[in-house]
Chains A and B, each alone.
Chain A
Amino acid sequence: MQKLDELCATWAPRLTSVLRIITALVILQYGLTKLFGFPYVQGLANQPVFTLYWFTGVIEFVLGALTLVGLFTRFATFVLSGEMAFAYFIEHAPHNFFPVLNEGNEAVLFCFIFLFLAAAGGGPWSIDALLKRNKA
């Protein structure tokens, strides 16, 4: 039992990095399809420039890429968390109260994962950690 606790204690920070990388990859898809049409998603791809959806695409692409490599993780994830909160209340909440019915599951999950990452940082497998190690 104690061995299991030790194993979890050493791997929990690394798993923070894994969670960060996967979540960033998932949100990058949204930025990429809105800006560049790849991967192509009907109705979402190739937003006209300077519209609301285009700006969200820029946020998702730029900050998603930063989160992916773990550079300025806390800042990037904090902004992304706020964007997802907006997305939920503008896009999904007006349709219905329940996330099951307003299809806001993703937005809620993104919002809270990024909020957690803003508090937790990018973990050991990130450029932030690399820079800190070099400075010390």
Chain B
Amino acid sequence: MEATLDKYRPQMLSILRIMVGLLFMSAGIQKWFAFPVAMPAAANITLFSMLGIAGCIELIGGALVTVGLFTRYAAFIMSGEMAVAYWFYTNRPARGFMPIQNGGTVEVLFCFIFLYLVFAGGGPWSLDALLRKKA
């Protein structure tokens, strides 16, 4: 049982990576393109603002992680972005200390998944793996 599961571990890593990348990219798409619905805070979004830069990281980084290109570098930056998002935006004393109270669970999960991807890479179903095979 364990041996069978271990065999599929690299493929599962790629599946996790693709899902997380898509979800993360959707945050950037919402900020920049107001799809599927406009984000009130991002109505007048400009490139050089906190929200604009965050949207760019989410859009570009999310796309890179989804296809698995430069996974480690993209994941490193996105992990950092989520740490900033948690400590600067969701973790306000008025909203409570625990992530479930201050609404920061998603940020925590994203932060640690991307930290894991920095070390684990993109798995076998990624452009990184394809490029390495060609080289």
Contacts and interface: CB of A to CB of B under 8 A. Distances in A.
Contacts, number: 106
Interface in B71-117: 72, 96-101, 105-106, 108-110, 112-113, 115-116
A119 interface: yes
A130 interface: no
Contacts of A18: 112, 115-116
Interface residues of A, number: 36
Interface in A20-37: 22-23, 26, 29-30, 33
Given A19-B113, A41-B100, A121-B2, A11 B12 contact: no
A115 B15 contact: yes
A87 interface: no
Interface string B8-30: 11001101100110010011001
Contact of A112 (B20, B101, B121): B20
A55 interface: no
Nearest to A120: B9
B113 A119 contact: no
Contact of A12 (B5, B30, B106, B120): B120
A22 B112 contact: yes
Given A19-B112, A113-B16, A105 B120 contact: no
Shortest Cβ-Cβ A-B pairs, 4 listed: A119-B12, A29-B100, A39-B98, A116-B16
10 contacts: A22-B112, A29-B105, A39-B97, A97-B36, A100-B36, A106-B106, A110-B109, A112-B20, A120-B6, A121-B2
Interface of B: 2, 5-6, 8-9, 12-13, 15-16, 19-20, 23, 26-27, 30, 36-37, 72, 96-101, 105-106, 108-110, 112-113, 115-116, 118-121
